[in-house]
Structures are given as C-alpha cells and as structure tokens.
Amino acid sequence: LVGAGVGSITLVDGDTVDISNLQRQVTYNEMHLGELKAKSLYNELRKVNPKLNIKYKSLYVDSNNLPTLISSADCVLDCTDKIDTRKLINAATYRASTPLFIAAASGLSWQALNLPQNSTGGGCYACLVEYINVREDCLSKGVLGPVVGMAACHQATQALLFLAKGFSANIKWGHYLTGKADLGSLKSFTLPSSSTCEVCHDPN
C-alpha cells in the first residue's frame, strides 16, 4: 500500500516482534525483536515513502476504541489472527458502513473476504463463522511464509482497486475465497446473511 502511494495509513497493533514472526512478516528482522510491531513497521515504511501520512497506534483493538480508530477510514484491512478480534472489527465496520477487507492464512491455505458493510443483503464475517468452521490454528499448526504473502497480496490488491475506483471497481463483494498454495487452486462462494446474525440481519 505504501509502495503504491496510498496517502494516509494508520497501523494498529499492540503486539511486539517475536522471532517466530520473521519467517512471514518480512518487514521485520532480528534487530526488531522485542520492539512494538506498529512502531517498527511505521519506521520501516517511512523509509519507503516519507511523504505519506502514516500513523501508528500500539494497542489492541476492542469494542471501545474501534469506533474512533475507524471513524475517518475509507476502508479497513483486517490482518489479525484471532476470530474474536475479527468479529469485533466486522461489527464496528458494519455499524460505520466502512468497507472491510479480510485476509488470513493457516498451513498451506489462505482465505479472503471483501465486505462492503453497507447492508446490501449479503452476509458479514459473523455470518461466515456461523456457516463454516473457520480455522484458527496458525499458532498450533504453523503456516508457510509465502502463503501469508499470497493472502496479503490479494488483500492489498482488492483494497487498492477500491481506493482507486470505489464501489465501481470490479471487486467480488461478499465472496469467501479460499486458496490452496500446494495445489494452486482457488474456490469461492457467495456469503448470504444469516437469519440469526446479530450484526447484519435486519428482522424488519
């Protein structure tokens, strides 16, 4: 995103750099171990393009700070690795009608979901976890570094298309995409709204 010249970016992460991050989070190296991720990433990205308006928040998101964090965002990229956190981000962006781009990876597979979050009749991330068993085993089973890169490149591409053209961009909104790195395969399905979803279902 920085390389493409996105003018304003806010990085949010309360974690610190661990040696286990280095095989897939390529912006960091051993010199960053123990440092706050958001601050380290900010410093490295400033080297790519110091003219951009890049900010960082070294904190974990929660239901209290999310509304403020996303209040001025054109879109949100969810790069987190916990289902509960994704659900919080999904709820906050839905309430704010802020487009959300989600990407995740585990083992040899990656997943992505683009959500317009504007009540167009499709489902949201909370619906997804009702329909399928979303994997949350990256820590226990590991993930191949390049697979994370595949998810990230797809996510960044979708966000750049949106930022360049808005909702007129050729983006498959509300499609859950899964990729298998070892097979080179991609599958997707349309995500309908769940009738029991507390986030996006409107009983009226």
User: For residue 165, is pLDDT > 90?
Assistant: yes
Q: Which residues contact 179 (CB under 8 A, 6 or more apart)?
A: 109, 110, 111, 112, 150, 151, 154, 185, 186, 187
Q: What is the pLDDT of residue 203?
A: 55
For 98-102, 169-173, 199-203, which range has the lowest pLDDT when averaged over its residues? 199-203
- Residue ranges and CATH numbers for the domains of the chain are 1-60 (no CATH), 75-204 (3.40.50.720)
Between 134 and 5, the more confident residue is 5
Q: How far is CA 189 from CA 101, 103, 114, 131, 151, in A?
A: 16, 15, 12, 12, 17
Mean pLDDT, residues 37-47 taken together: 97
- Give the 3-state secondary structure of residue 130: helix
Percent of the residues in the chain that have a pLDDT greater than 90, as a whole number? 86
Q: How far apart, in whole angstroms, are the C-alpha atoms of residue 197 and residue 201? A: 5
Q: What is the DSSP string of 62-109?
A: -TTTHHHHTTT-S-EEE--S-HHHHHHHHHHHHHHT--EEEEEEEBTE
Mean pLDDT, residues 125-146 taken together: 80
Kindly report the backbone phi and psi dihedral angles of residue 8, in degrees, each rounded to the nearest multiple of 5, phi listed first.
Answer: -140, 120
Structure tokens belonging to residue 114: 């683009």
Any idea how long the chain is?
Answer: 204
- The DSSP secondary-structure symbol of 193 reads P
User: For residue 61, is pLDDT > 60?
Assistant: yes
**pTM over 0.75, yes/no:** yes
User: For residue 49, is pLDDT > 70?
Assistant: yes
Indicate the pLDDT class of residue 137, thresholds 50, 70 and 90. low
Query: How does pLDDT run across 62-114, given as a tens digit for each residue?
Result: 999 999 999 999 999 999 989 999 999 999 999 999 999 999 999 999 999 99
Indicate the pLDDT class of residue 136, thresholds 50, 70 and 90. low
